[in-house]
Amino acid sequence: MPEYDKSHCAIRSVNKYTGSAHKAVSADVTGKKKRGKNQTGYFGHYEATADAEAGIGGAIAGAGAASTVYKLRERDGEVNVGKSYTNAEVGAGLGGYKAKAELGVDVVNAKGKLGRNQEVSANLGFNVDTGVEAGVDGLSVKAGGLGFSVGRNMGISTPFGGVNFKLW
């Protein structure tokens, strides 16, 4: 099992009362491991996360893991080469609901900022992402990797790739 850099592996909050109406209990665990680094990126980037929140406004829980052969991260974006991932989330509350599972391997995926809050992301690979997410920010529906998003995020996905625009 790899040793984790303590600055990147921590339980950030357990049973923390935030004082807000939408989040009263929260737990979050994140672990990251980076192997070699060249001047512009990382070879062998691994990440695992688990998160759960519950409160007056609803509850949400999720977990995931990802492994990337090469990750290039700059101030306004990132490129991942040879990324495999799995993720699951379920939640419901006053702002909407979600139930989704993601599983895929990307030959390449990229994300970049277009403005202050706007982003574009695209990927080329294979995925079987499935689920639904609906709320005040919009609607996202996927089945077997084929799907769409409308609202704050506008996008289309296929089992072999996709593109998404974050509008605000």
Q: What is the structure's pLDDT at 133?
A: 96
Decide if pLDDT at 24 tops 50.
no
Paired residues of 161 in beta bridges: 124, 158
The pLDDT assigned to 34 comes to 63
pLDDT number for residue 7: 34
What is the spatial distance between Cα 118 and Cα 153, in angstroms, rounded to a whole number?
10
pLDDT at 18 over 80: no
Query: Residue 89 has what pLDDT?
Result: 97
Comparing CA positions, the residue from 52, 8, 70, 69 lying closest to residue 33 is: 8
Residues 166, 153: contact at Cβ < 8 Å? yes
| Amino acid at site 91 | G
Contact status, residue 67 vs residue 84, Cβ threshold 8 Å: yes
Single-letter residue type at 150? V
CB atoms within 10 A of CB 38: 9
Contacts of 15 (CB under 8 A, 6+ apart): 25, 26, 27
**pLDDT value of residue 41:** 84
Q: What is the pTM of this model?
A: 0.77
More confident residue, 5 or 58: 58
Q: What is the dihedral of CA 131, 150, 76, 63, to 10 degrees?
A: -20
Q: Rounded CA gap, 127 and 106, in Å?
A: 8
| CA distance linking residue 44 with residue 23, whole number of Å | 35
What is the per-residue pLDDT for 25? 53
Q: Which helix (H) or strand (E) element contains residue 126?
A: strand 119-127
Rg (CA), the chain: 17
More confident position, 56 or 132: 132
In this prediction, residue 141 has a pLDDT band, given cuts at 50, 70 and 90, of very high
Please report which confidence band the pLDDT of residue 29 belongs to, taking 50, 70 and 90 as the band edges: low
The pair phi, psi for residue 8, each rounded to 5°, is -115, 5
Query: 95-136: per-residue pLDDT in tens?
Result: 899 999 999 999 999 999 998 899 999 999 999 999 999 999
Q: Which pLDDT tens digit goes with each residue over 83-97?
A: 999 999 999 999 899
Task: Output DSSP code: residue 8.
Answer: G
